[in-house]
Amino acid sequence: MVVNIKDLAVKLDSSVEEITKVLNELDFGYDKENLQVDDDIAELIEDELGTTKSDVDVVAGKVEESLEREIVKSQRKKTAGKDSNKNQSKAKDVATLPTKVDKLEIGDVISVKELAEKTGVNAARIIGELMKNGIIANINQQLDIETATVIMAEFGVELKRMNTTGTTDDFIEQNLSAIAGDDDVADLITRPPIITVMGHVDHGKTKLLDTIRSANVVDGESGGITQHIGAYQVEKNGKLITFLDTPGHEAFTEMRSRGAKVTDIAILVVSAAEGVKPTTIEAINHAKEAGVPIIVAVNKIDLPAANPDKVKAELAEYGLQPEEWGGDTIMVSVSALTGEGIDTLLDMILLVAEVQNLKANPSRKAVGTVIETHLDPGFGPVATVIINTGTLNIGDTVVVGDAYGKIKVMMNHAKKKYKNAPPSTPVLIAGLSKSPQTGDILQVLEDEKTARDYALHVATFRNDQRITSATTMVDLAQKIKTGEMQVLKVILKTDTKGSFEAIKQSLEKVHHDEVMIKIIHSGVGNIKESDIAMASASDAILLGFHVEIPQQLEKSIERYGVIVKNYKIIYDLIEDTKKLLSGLLTPEIVVVELGKAEVRQVFLTKKKEMIVGLKLTNGILQKGCKVRVLRKGEVVGEGRIITLQRIDKQVDEMKAENECGIKYTGSIPVEEGDILEAYKTEERQKTL
């Protein structure tokens, strides 16, 4: 049976509009053309419009029953004609119902419909519970997470806020911190520290790592030098430590330049017999600029020429003061050959890691960083990845920079296969569409189509970036001028140490209260690949004096988009640096007084504007200028001249001894007799 809504309105002493509003809010269907509604719904409307707080539970129950009937009807319509057997139809109806879950992660808002689908709780029951709590809702109603949490608790479902992750733009720009997002503190657990081992090529770096993991990789490699990045874990006192062995410092800097900070602690290996080398200094500068704690391993103490104290004294000159000398740098004497001091070194690593309180969430989707990539004859494109947060599983769909795919194989350095990899675990993965780049970010996504779209966006972005990556001195000056950077970082390469000292002294004389020059790295000799990578990672400029820039580095300079300037005359180097620094100075705001005018008449006053007649007594007035409003000699407010008019013509400027009309807006209405002091502000660039 149906009921006419007009008759229902008369019966309830209400209006048709009020009744249809309730019908729409409850998402009930009705005949809009003939204004008719089913009698069971009409009964609910009667209860709804006459409901008091005391019987809202009854109404909620009836709404729930009605919605359940609607849902059953809907399900029957969907399966009608597909199965002639009624038992099969009923079985299908039951099969389409979602299974109830106990826990669910959601975003900040969720609709009733989506909540019902994801939790398996009937939408009618959710709406009924909302009504019990005084919330009139329909199936499309958006609920905030707080409301949804309270409501779903009644059904034994625990809701949790989904961790915040980065946007598509963050992934395109490979912003690791934004992609990883923020996790609930309750979900965080302690993760193993990630250690990068750095140092001079002949100081026993690889042998030290070989001793730590009790496996020989030195014999199988040319000249004893690591050919690929090694990544593996060792155990000490029941705790895991992840080690990275970089082939030179370029890889370390490359990852940093791409926004990836995967290292927690840097181990600097220095030979007790040979002391500090140029490569050692370079490693120190790389680690300091990255803000990574340094532990020094003074190696080869078994040699007759070993002199650990001399090494410590040399390191102190570069800001690494040993703890026993009152500094804060941990230095451990070790022998990679005999194993002496290795246990102490590992203990110190765990101690520093404990102070850092390193944590991650293993229960979320994985985010990781590529530390090495190559083509494998058996697996195709493969990448060694450090898991930053979350857990990576076999079968996960991933996007890695401009590559994508499904994880088919996952194994460690010893080719032991993994089914899953928790935070800080290094794994080699296969199943990618192409080889990603070092420093690329891995992210687990829902499906392959989404992953492919992400990869395409990254590829397009990188192509555009390559076209527009070249940076000039003017670009950098403008960039820093508009930002908050007050330090100009410089990497300086010179032909001799004497030249370096002369340039350093000259640069130290270029100073200003708001700007400083910081030489983050220097060296004698030609510009190298590692210099370019460091300049990119540190937002520094690379200055050379009487050195060469090998032709093969031109592509790297273009790819990184760094400023590289080479000089033959010190004066030119200093003058160019001064010009660049001038762009760093905060502009000075100068107030320029224009003129004064007396308010002769107020013609029209609106809510925000006034039409005012003035007599300009001295100076000038300009369209758009600011004014102070003086009344009886005191400033009572400020405003602005929107337009200037001379007789019947609008003008941009008026001179003294003229009368004019203005359109005025300001913090206070003006009155006859007020004096307007006109002024403007200008930015004036400071110079050194």
Same domain, 457 and 491: no
605 and 571 belong to one structural domain? no
The pLDDT mean for the chain works out to: 80
Which of 248, 244, 247 has its CA nearest to residue 260? 244
**Domain end call among 466, 500, 515:** 466
Do 537 and 624 lie in a common domain? Answer: no
125 and 204 co-located in one domain: no
Cα distances from 348 to residues 274, 352, 355, in angstroms, run 24, 6, 11
pLDDT band at 15 (very low <50, low <70, confident <90, very high): confident
DSSP label at residue 304:
T
- Do 321 and 373 sit in the same domain of this protein? no
Rounded CA-CA distance 153/157 in Å is 5
7 with 102, same domain: the answer is yes
Helices 16-25, 39-49: crossing angle, 10 deg rounding: 100
What's the CATH number where 249 sits? 3.40.50.300
- Is residue 323 within 8 A of residue 331, CB to CB? The reply is yes
Confirm whether 528 is domain-assigned.
Answer: yes
The neighbouring-strand residues paired with 494 are: 524, 545
Give the pLDDT band (50/70/90) at residue 218. Answer: very low
What is the structure's pLDDT at 90? 38
Burial of 589 (0-12, 13-18, 19+ CB in 10 A): exposed
- Using the 3D structure, point to which of 582, 598, 615 is the last residue of a domain: 582
| Separation between Cα atoms, residue 674 and residue 634, nearest integer Å | 10
- Measured torsion, CA atoms of residues 142, 148, 151, 155, in degrees rounded to the nearest 10: 110
Residue 98 has pLDDT above 60, yes or no: no
Q: How confident is the model at residue 84 (pLDDT cuts 50, 70, 90)?
A: very low
Alpha carbon 546 to chain centroid distance?
A: 40
Beta bridge partners of 234: 241
In a domain, residue 183? The reply is no
Non-local CB neighbours of 455 within 8 Å, separated by 6+ positions: 399, 400, 401, 402, 403, 404, 433
Domain count within the chain: 5
> Which residue(s) pair with 176 in the sheet?
none
The CATH code of the domain that includes 629 is: 2.40.30.10
Residue 167 domain-assigned (yes or no)? no
Lowest-confidence pick of 223-232, 496-505, 641-650 = 223-232
First-to-last CA distance in the chain? 90
Q: Which of 388, 32, 404 has the alpha carbon at shortest distance from 178?
A: 388
Whether 180 maps to a domain, the answer reads no
Tokens of 546: 């009487």
Q: Does residue 39 fall inside a structural domain?
A: yes
CATH number at residue 542: 3.40.50.10050
> Residues 391, 404: contact at Cβ < 8 Å?
no
Please tell me what DSSP assigns to residue 386.
E
Strands (E), 568-669: 588-605, 610-622, 626-631, 634-646, 649-651, 653-655, 659-666
The distance of Cα 534 from the centroid of its chain, to the nearest Å, equals: 21
Read off the pTM: 0.57
Q: What is the largest CA-CA distance in the chain?
A: 109
pLDDT tens digits along 99-118: 567 888 777 788 888 888 88
Buried b / exposed e over 173-183, threshold 16 CB at 10 Å, is bbbbebbbbeb
User: Quick check: 387 and 423 in contact, CB under 8 A?
Assistant: yes
299 and 395 both lie in a single domain: no
Nearest residue to 251 (alpha-carbon basis) of 438, 440, 522: 438
* 566 and 592 assigned to the same domain: no
| H helix and E strand count, the chain | 21, 34
Distance CA 594, CA 677 (A): 8
What residue numbers bound the domain in which 409 lies?
367-466
Q: Per mean pLDDT, which range of 9-23, 190-204, 411-425 is the poorest?
A: 9-23
On the question of pLDDT at 24 being above 50, the answer is yes
pLDDT of residue 514: 65
C-alpha distances (whole Å) from 369 to each of 233, 256, 383, 394, 453 are: 16, 11, 10, 17, 20
Query: What pLDDT digit, counting tens, does each position of 661-671 carry?
Result: 999 999 899 99
pLDDT tens-digit map of 598-615: 999 998 888 788 999 999
C-alpha to C-alpha distance for 37 and 23, rounded to whole angstroms: 9
Instruction: Report whether 204 contacts 222 (CB < 8 A).
Output: no
Cα separations (Å) of 192 from 126, 223, 360, 386, 417?
43, 32, 10, 11, 20
**Statement to judge: residues 110 and 132 lie in one domain:** yes
Residue 276 lies in a domain: yes
Q: What size, in residues, is the chain? A: 688
Q: What is the pLDDT of residue 589?
A: 81
For tokens 């508009």, name the residue: 482
Q: Are residue 636 and residue 609 in the same domain, yes or no?
A: yes
What is the rounded CA–CA span in Å between residue 370 and residue 171?
14
Residues 662 and 546 in one domain: no
What angle, 0 to 180 degrees and rounded to 10, lies between the N-to-C axes of helices 123-132 and 112-119? 120
> What DSSP element (H or E) covers 284?
helix 278-290
Q: Looking at the domain assignment, is residue 229 inside a domain?
A: yes
Domain annotation covers residue 184: no
Give the closest residue to 390 by CA, choosing from 162, 665, 167.
Answer: 162
Are residues 302 and 445 both part of a single domain?
Answer: no
